[in-house]
């Protein structure tokens, strides 16, 4: 654990060191409640584990996800049978299937891993960058040149205390470029507000990182005259962006884990002592994420194409969305199932 996480604790949690921040104004969409075009009813594919945080589909059409007990599960294309293909011994989050059939796994406790599905072998690739351990290895994507871009969500708070990072707003998230051949890593973006999902543009010219704590998607240019520069891809989102994925048609899908919370925005605008007091409360006494199932999709220019949402009675806290064969596969940090919904091209 990084020293910023460890020493000062409040009831077993890292002590909060709030940073003054004025959140962007809540957009009208955040106040509207639900989208004009609802997310279709969610079909649940039950699992024998909790929290399929990220869901991906491999080249064979199999559904892959990781659950809280450390297992990587594989569902057949029909979604009728799930089997464990590996156990990371930690908490797997983001998954990235590789062309050779292997799987990159971002583990919140163990760093960047590579899994051999046929044997279950787990190999550790990366545990630190720039002299700092990966605090919460969250998501990864492979660029056309073979480099792996990895998000490290927080240098202050472990996954089980993710809410502390949003309250503190200290911006310790990073985007790391890892070179598999050389085994080297460099930080290409830092100061990110809970760096979460990462997705590649259809043409590989840029990638997008979700900053959950800032309601923002940040773009890093990889090619062309702007290579190496960052700018804003989408800002002032109406909810908390989580994992990202690039669909077969080139859309960038964004899992919206929860709507923005007026109480949290208010806390950020008031004296930091109030945030420390809120953090000291037992978890059960603090407001939790709003119960909703929500996914949006943007084109390569950042324009909204899909905005699909429904009440979270059957499935809630969508942390990943993956488009495949006319369906959306949904992950969640809290559910014991993968969600499946049809995608209508007329929307």
161: enclosing H helix or E strand = none
Q: Name residue 45's beta-bridge partners.
A: 338
53 domain-assigned:
yes
Per DSSP, the three-state class of 160 is: helix
347 domain-assigned:
no
pLDDT of residue 31: 81
49 domain-assigned:
yes
pTM check: above 0.75: yes
Q: Considering only CA atoms, which of 123, 120, 121, 158 is closest in space to residue 138?
A: 158
Rounded Cα–Cα distance for residues 243 and 198 (Å):
7
Digit-coded pLDDT (tens) for 1-43? 344 444 445 567 899 999 989 999 999 898 877 777 899 999 9
pLDDT of residue 307: 96
193 domain-assigned:
yes
pLDDT of residue 152: 98
Low-confidence ranges of the chain (pLDDT < 50): 1-8, 346-347
Does residue 196 contact residue 138 with C-beta atoms inside 8 Å? yes
pLDDT of residue 208: 98
Number of compact structural domains in the chain = 1
Q: How far apart, in Å, are the Cα atoms of 286 and each of 13, 70, 236, 246, 300?
A: 14, 28, 24, 34, 37
CA-based radius of gyration for the chain: 19
29 domain-assigned:
no
32 domain-assigned:
no
pLDDT of residue 1: 38
Q: How far apart are the first and last CA of the chain?
A: 45
Rounded Cα–Cα distance for residues 182 and 165 (Å):
32
Q: How many CB atoms lie within 10 A of CB 152?
A: 28
Q: Name the DSSP class of 290.
A: -
CATH number at residue 101: 2.120.10.30
Domain that holds residue 82: 3-20+38-342
Rounded Cα–Cα distance for residues 309 and 295 (Å):
6
β pairing state of 292-298 and 304-311: antiparallel
276 domain-assigned:
yes
pLDDT of residue 7: 43
118 domain-assigned:
yes
Q: Considering only CA atoms, which of 298, 168, 171 is closest in space to residue 246?
A: 298
Digit-coded pLDDT (tens) for 296-343? 999 999 999 999 999 999 999 999 999 999 999 999 999 999 999 999
pLDDT of residue 238: 96
Instruction: At 30, give phi and psi (nearest 5°).
Output: -70, -30
pLDDT of residue 10: 53
């Amino acid at each position: 654990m990084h020293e910023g996480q460890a020493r000062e604790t409040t009831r077993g949690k890292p002590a909060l060191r709030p940073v003054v921040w004025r959140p962007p104004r809540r957009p009208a969409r955040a106040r509207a409640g639900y989208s004009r075009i609802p997310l279709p009813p969610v079909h649940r594919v039950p699992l024998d584990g909790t929290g399929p945080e990220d869901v991906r589909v491999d080249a064979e059409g199999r559904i892959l996800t990781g659950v809280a007990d450390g297992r990587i599960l594989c569902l057949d294309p029909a979604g009728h049978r799930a089997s464990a293909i590996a156990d990371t011994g930690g908490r797997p989050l983001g998954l990235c299937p590789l062309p050779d059939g292997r799987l990159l796994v971002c583990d919140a406790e163990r760093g960047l891993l590579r899994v051999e599905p046929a044997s279950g072998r787990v190999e550790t690739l990366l545990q630190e960058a720039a002299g700092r351990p990966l605090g919460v290895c969250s998501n990864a994507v492979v660029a056309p040149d073979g480099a792996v871009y990895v998000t490290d969500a927080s240098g202050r708070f472990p996954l089980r205390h993710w809410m502390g990072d949003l309250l503190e707003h200290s911006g310790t998230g990073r985007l790391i470029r890892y070179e598999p051949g050389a085994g080297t890593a460099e930080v290409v973006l830092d100061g990110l507000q809970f760096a979460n999902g990462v997705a590649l543009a259809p043409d590989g010219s840029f990638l997008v990182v979700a900053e959950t704590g800032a309601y923002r998607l940040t773009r890093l240019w990889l090619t062309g005259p702007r290579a190496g520069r960052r700018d804003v891809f989408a800002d002032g989102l109406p909810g908390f962006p989580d994992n990202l994925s690039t669909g077969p048609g080139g859309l960038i899908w964004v899992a919206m884990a929860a709507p923005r919370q007026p109480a949290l925005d208010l806390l950020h605008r008031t004296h930091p002592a109030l945030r420390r007091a809120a953090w000291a409360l037992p978890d059960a006494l603090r407001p939790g994420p709003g119960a909703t199932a929500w996914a949006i999709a943007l084109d390569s220019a950042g324009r909204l194409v899909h905005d699909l949402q429904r009440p979270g009675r059957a499935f809630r806290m969508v942390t990943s969305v993956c488009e495949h064969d006319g369906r959306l596969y949904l992950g969640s940090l809290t559910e014991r199932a993968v969600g499946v919904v049809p995608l209508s091209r007329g929307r």
